[in-house]
Chain A
Amino acid sequence: KNEVEQSPQNLTAQEGEFITINCSYSVGISALHWLQQHPGGGIVSLFMLSSGKKKHGRLIATINIQEKHSSLHITASHPRDSAVYICAVTGNQFYFGTGTSLTVIP
């Protein structure tokens, strides 16, 4: 069992839909990261958070430390949001989820 679990593994949405990706973890952490991986391998770090909520454009990330759970929300989704979204946590070491593959259809 992975220390970081993501759901769903695959997600297809219509353009404009509100999207939620969930991440649960089982280890003590100092921070949680949301990463975006585009086809071809390029990865961008979207958020690093240790409490509360952060917003950047159409992306919102929340974390509940007590429940060991984080969500990544995408409002008004767009085809360019199609990518793999990876949740990672840092504590004594890094742990990564297997990712959520998102496809947004025009």
Chain B
Amino acid sequence: ETGVTQTPRHLVMGMTNKKSLKCEQHLGHNAMYWYKQSAKKPLELMFVYNFKEQTENNSVPSRFSPECPNSSHLFLHLHTLQPEDSALYLCASSRQDRGQNIQYFGAGTRLSVL
């Protein structure tokens, strides 16, 4: 148990659905991340939020929309996804203001797009 909670753990959605992934941490961290892990591909960083401000967006399609209402919660809103978006989506958090960046990961949401 890393202290980072992701819900749901599994999600199946159609290409026309709208759904949201949720990530929550109460570790006192000020940075939160969304990653995508596709089968047999390196882990891909999608978004970074630092003190609730988005600091990085690695050319992610607009059908993925992040939201960080406060430093403890992070959402990934999904709409009109494609089958190739099926993957494990991982959330992580870290405390960045001391030059450290050890990230704590959630267990992930396994997403299947039909």
A94: contacting residue among B2, B45, B102, B107, CB under 8 A: B45
Interface size on A, residues (CB 8 A): 22
Q: How far is the CB of A35 from chain B (nearest CB, A)?
A: 8
Q: How far is the CB of A9 from chain B (nearest CB, A)?
A: 10
User: A1-40 interface mask toward B, CB cutoff 8 Å, 1 = contact, 0 = none?
Assistant: 0101000000000000000000000000001010100001
B100: contacting residue among A40, A48, A95, CB under 8 A: A48
**Residues in chain A near residue B56, CB distance under 8 A:** 93
The reply to whether A31 and B101 contact each other, CB–CB distance below 8 Å, is yes
Q: How far is the CB of B46 from chain A (nearest CB, A)?
A: 11
Which range contains the number of B residues in contact with the other chain?
Answer: 20 to 34
The reply to whether B105 and A44 contact each other, CB–CB distance below 8 Å, is yes
Q: How far is the CB of A31 from chain B (nearest CB, A)?
A: 6
Given contacts A42-B106, A98-B40, A98-B42, 19 further A-B pairs with CB under 8 A are A31-B101, A35-B105, A40-B107, A41-B108, A41-B110, A42-B2, A42-B107, A43-B90, A43-B105, A43-B108, A44-B104, A44-B105, A45-B102, A48-B100, A48-B101, A90-B101, A94-B45, A97-B42, A99-B42
| Nearest 7 Cβ contacts at the A-B interface | A41-B108, A43-B105, A96-B43, A42-B107, A96-B42, A94-B45, A48-B102
Interface residues of A, Cβ cutoff 8 Å to B: 2, 4, 31, 33, 35, 40-45, 48, 86, 88, 90, 93-99
